[in-house]
Amino acid sequence: MRSFLFVPADSERKLAKGPLSGPDALILDLEDSVATDRKTIARQMALDYLRAGNRAGPKLYVRVNALDTGLTLGDLAVVMQGKPDGIVFPKCVGQRDLDLLGTYLDALEAREGLSAGATKILTIATESAAAILALTAAPAKHARLVGHSWGGEDLMADLGALAKGPAPGIYDDTFRMARTVNLMASVAAGVTAYDTVYPDIKNVDGLRAEAHEARRMGYGGKIAIHPDQVAIIHEVFTPSAREVDWARRVIETFENNPGSGVLTLDGKMLDKPHLVLARRLLARAG
């Protein structure tokens, strides 16, 4: 999946509009975009949407509230009745939190008669200093995990930072570290790294530049906060025809020379890291 699009779970209009931009997954949000006095309403609206949703469209994930709110288990108890494809887990602090969520999902899948492990997890894994240090010490892994995403807004609050950097898309060292650690932890866990949201909705060029930078680093997708961002994310994170052709020729070259460690293609040296990259490109091309 290249794109996740946040949709407030308590907005009928935005829920209806969400799939129209063609995201790979929708995130029905119960957390930051929902006011405290509407949390219970949002839970029920998310459940109604899951029950009524067309599962031929985007995957349907739900972002629950963080563990320190005391709302997480209540959120899960309601929305798991609708059999979501996955849970987005905010403010995850490393392996301990990921394992706890996995245990909750084990129990609730059994309650609902779902196949064990059917509900996937996307973490937002860098929203505090403690979370970044936990990922640095040991990358969080789980059989349900599909990816780690990094978050800047809550991290900014946790650090007491006045901004993430001098301009949108230009990050101070602390936020570059969060982005890098998230990427490394994702690769170490064998899952996709997802770049954080780009909050300047009208700045199309800024979004495209940040997405290109993320892809160059090794990120496999990005989270959107507005439907208009989805097409740009897909444009950037979908391997081009030229890249796919190169990847196929690299794989073919190695298959035709199984005993060779170093080969040549188009006058350039190839070795095993190029084969790994070629396979990843084809996997992302779907």
What is the distance between the alpha carbons of residues 79 and 58, in angstroms, rounded to a whole number? Answer: 17
Query: Residue 286 in 3-state DSSP?
Result: coil
Query: Residue 263 in 3-state DSSP?
Result: strand
> In this structure, what are the phi and psi dihedrals at residue 119, rounded to the nearest 5 degrees?
-90, 120
186 and 233 together in one domain: yes
142 and 25 together in one domain: yes
57 and 106 together in one domain: yes
Total domains, the chain: 2
129 and 32 together in one domain: yes
**DSSP code string of 133-189:** HHHHHS----TTEEEEE--SHHHHHHHT-S-SSSBTTB--HHHHHHHHHHHHHHHHH
pLDDT in the model for residue 246: 80
pLDDT in the model for residue 117: 97
What is the distance between the alpha carbons of residues 124 and 148, in angstroms, rounded to a whole number? Answer: 6
155 and 263 together in one domain: no
> Exposed, middle or buried, 38 (CB in 10 Å: 0-12/13-18/19+)?
middle
Cα angle 73, 78, 83 (rounded to 5 degrees) comes to 110
Tokens of 100: 């706890």
pLDDT in the model for residue 247: 81
245 and 147 together in one domain: no
4 forms beta bridges with 25, 223
pLDDT in the model for residue 118: 98
47 and 178 together in one domain: yes
Q: 43: domain range?
A: 3-237
pLDDT in the model for residue 254: 85
Contacts of 42 (CB under 8 A, 6+ apart): 8, 9, 10, 29, 30, 34
Q: In the listed set 222, 237, 252, which residue is the last one of a domain according to the structure?
A: 237
179 and 245 together in one domain: no
245 and 111 together in one domain: no
180 and 251 together in one domain: no
Domain of 103: which CATH number?
3.20.20.60
119 and 248 together in one domain: no
- pLDDT by 10s per residue, the chain, length 286: 999 999 999 999 999 999 999 999 999 999 999 999 999 999 999 999 999 977 789 999 999 999 999 999 999 999 999 999 999 999 999 999 999 999 999 999 999 999 999 999 999 999 999 999 999 999 999 999 999 999 989 999 999 999 999 987 789 999 999 999 999 999 999 999 999 999 999 999 999 999 999 999 999 999 999 999 999 999 999 987 888 788 898 888 888 888 777 888 888 888 888 888 888 888 887 7
263 and 140 together in one domain: no
